[in-house]
Structure 1
Amino acid sequence: MHAEQPHLTQALSTPDRMPDQSEPRPLPAPDSGELRSLVLEAETRAVYQVLYESREAPLEMGEIRKRVQLHTGKANLQTDRRLRSLRTYFDVPAMPVPGKSNRFTYPLLGWKPDADERTPRTAIKASDRAFTLHAYGYRCAACGRSPREDGVKLVIDHKVPLDLGGTNDPDNLQPLCVQDNHAKQALFADHEENAEALRASMNLPEVHLRIGELLKALAGQPVPKELIVLVAREENHGDPTRRLRDLRSLGWKITPSKRKDGRRVRSFYSLEHWEPWPAEGPQAAVARLERARKRAQRLRSD
């Protein structure tokens, strides 16, 4: 792999957990006022209680769901999403179970180092909710359906989830129908083990940077196309494979592959070589190269 430019390396690859010589900050007790002030939903506090009680022997998601149901008396509480919301403040990685494919435990390790700087999970302001619905024409940002014409229910979604560094700012909000909102939650749940790579890439200002830094974070691993689409977060449904071609024009080597998964065939992309980001930025560099290509093509045709 190519060495990165120093200023970009520092900005883009800062680890989520920095070494600290001081005593670790004690975790709040599940019934404490400190936890209640941070975590507003009782069901999410129930997930925290299960994680807190199982710190010595972390559990897999199935067992977490069962124990949460025992605490609340309710099923189908979207435990995966509630666990992700706890990551706004707490370090809860997905740890692979040795010798088991696609199985993970979820240890509650402590506070996030920047927990006090994280966006609180407060209710979205009514004015921001109304502005978002109006800006999208009261339609789902993913499928375009509307309550009036299609009978769907719209919810306000964070494009970049709060636990991955998103904010409550209006430009991070979008309306999604319940079906697409649940599909997005499921997609994040499928990629729990890549949470840190997602967090490092999703908030970058350009789509090429977002995709490129994700590939770099997972360098050598086959990255599924759906994860690239998630990070690209292009509202105009841009083709991520075109963005990969753009990166190749900048000297990157990205190898595609396909894998059968049940009845469907999934596409993957593996990063084998990358180049430093151009000083002008990748989007401007790609546009410059495209202009040069078209000029050369016109000259040949003349």
Structure 2
Amino acid sequence: MPQDQEPRPLPTPDSQELQDLVTEAETRAVYQVLYQSRNEPLEMTAIREYVAEITGKSNLQMDRRLRSLRTHFNVPAERIPDKRNHFVYPLLGWKPDADKRTARKSIPGSVRALIFQTYGNRCAACGRTPKDDQVKLVIDHMVPLDLGGTNDPDNLQVLCEEDNHNKQALFAEHQDDVPALRKSLSLPEVHMRIGELLKNMAGEEVPKELIVLVAREENHGDPTKRMRELRSLGWIIKNSKRRKGRRVLSCYRLEHWEPWPPEGPQAAVAGLERARKRSKRFREG
């Protein structure tokens, strides 16, 4: 947006503009609460309470309502400083490409049930369950829709609300890196996806969560192994840990990279591994 151009005004909760964009009354109620609290954003517990007062309903699938609103509006999860796993949800304005977006299709109930069953009603990140740990579970897109992810079952997982909010906060912090993430996700090999992300963010500490995202491997893969394999191709990658609030984040920083081998990194890594095994057998023989 040009610096001299005024931000596009948000629609008021009772406007026809909002009704044309958001067809479900319950989702408009969530928008109403976000709109009215935009100067002092609320935590999710308070948002639920206010929406329940408006609609008379308590089970509102808030994660789905927020995803729907995020089709057009910028509603990040912002961590409250010095408060562990506490977030507020400010309504910051329109998405830059809001007019080009279409409403997100909801995930069918049968698919949601399948995903919960596949993950054993357990958070894919921390392993907690509603029965044993009193957490609330939600369906999460491994690759966010904004980065080209889909509602296909192989892109869906189960997260507890805490880990889901942490993921949202992470992406809010890395909005400037979205082009690099989208470019990396389109590449055909896991080493290329990770390597190109590191190159695009060269000199920066890249959180492990972003590495896992672009790796797109089942069961979150093994970033440590992939970094070791990239190092075998001549790359210099430093790993570190940094504290953010009460969380400790594992990070990687690229200091030197080599061109991709003509046969591709996966084939090159496999060739090095075969040579290592031959050498080991020779020494032992």
SS where residue 218 of structure 2 aligns? coil
Q: Describe the shift of the 1:43–1:230 C-alpha distance in structure 2 as closer, same or farther (beyond 3 A).
A: farther
CA contact (8 A) 2:30 2:47 kept: no
Name the structure 2 match of 1:140. Answer: 122
The yes-or-no answer on 1:193 pairing with 2:177 is no
CA contact (8 A) 2:198 2:254 kept: yes
Give me the identity figure in percent. Answer: 55
Which residue, out of 114, 123, 134, partners 2:106? 123
CA contact (8 A) 1:85 1:163 kept: no
Displacement of 1:122 in angstroms is 3.4
The yes-or-no answer on 1:282 pairing with 2:265 is yes
Residues 108-129 of structure 1: CA distance to partner in whole angstroms, max 9, x if unpaired?
A: 46444375355x3333112322
Counterpart of 1:241 in structure 2: which amino acid?
T
Rounded Cα–Cα distance in structure 2 between residues aligned with 1:71 and 1:36: 20
Displacement of 1:238 in angstroms is 2.6
Counterpart of 1:132 in structure 2: which amino acid?
I
Name the structure 2 match of 1:242. Answer: 225
Name the structure 2 match of 1:89. Answer: 72
TM-score, normalised by the number of residues in structure 1 = 0.61
Displacement of 1:86 in angstroms is 4.3
What 5-or-longer segments of structure 2 have no aligned partner? Answer: 54-59, 82-88
TM-score, normalised by the number of residues in structure 2 = 0.64
The farther-off stretch of 42-51 and 235-244 is 42-51
Displacement of 1:246 in angstroms is 1.7
- Give the alignment of 1:25-40 within 5 angstroms: 28=11, 30-39=13-22, 40=24
Displacement of 1:194 in angstroms is 0.6
Name the structure 2 match of 1:113. Answer: 97
Residues 136-171 of structure 1: CA distance to partner in whole angstroms, max 9, x if unpaired?
A: 164436156777899876543222233443222222
Rounded Cα–Cα distance in structure 2 between residues aligned with 1:264 and 1:48: 27
Higher relative contact order (CA 8 A, sep 6+): 1
CA contact (8 A) 2:235 2:257 kept: yes
CA contact (8 A) 1:65 1:79 kept: no
Rounded Cα–Cα distance in structure 1 between residues aligned with 2:207 and 2:119: 32
SS where residue 88 of structure 1 aligns? coil
Rounded Cα–Cα distance in structure 1 between residues aligned with 2:115 and 2:66: 26
Residues 41-92 of structure 1: CA distance to partner in whole angstroms, max 9, x if unpaired?
A: 13542366369xx7xxxx6xxx222897998587xx9999977764433467
Name the structure 1 match of 2:207. Answer: 224
CA contact (8 A) 1:27 1:110 kept: yes
CA contact (8 A) 1:81 1:189 kept: no
Task: Say how many residue pairs are matched.
Answer: 262
Displacement of 1:220 in angstroms is 0.9
Rounded Cα–Cα distance in structure 1 between residues aligned with 2:244 and 2:76: 26
Name the structure 1 match of 2:41. Answer: 64
RMSD: 4.9
Name the structure 1 match of 2:31. Answer: 45
Counterpart of 1:273 in structure 2: which amino acid?
H
Q: Describe the shift of the 1:184–1:213 C-alpha distance in structure 2 as closer, same or farther (beyond 3 A).
A: farther
Name the structure 2 match of 1:161. Answer: 144
Which residue, out of 273, 276, 279, partners 1:293? 276
Residues 264-297 of structure 1: CA distance to partner in whole angstroms, max 9, x if unpaired?
A: 7543321122334455543333223322333344
The farther-off stretch of 291-300 and 121-130 is 291-300
CA contact (8 A) 1:210 1:232 kept: yes
CA contact (8 A) 1:225 1:268 kept: yes
What 5-or-longer segments of structure 1 have no aligned partner? Answer: 1-16
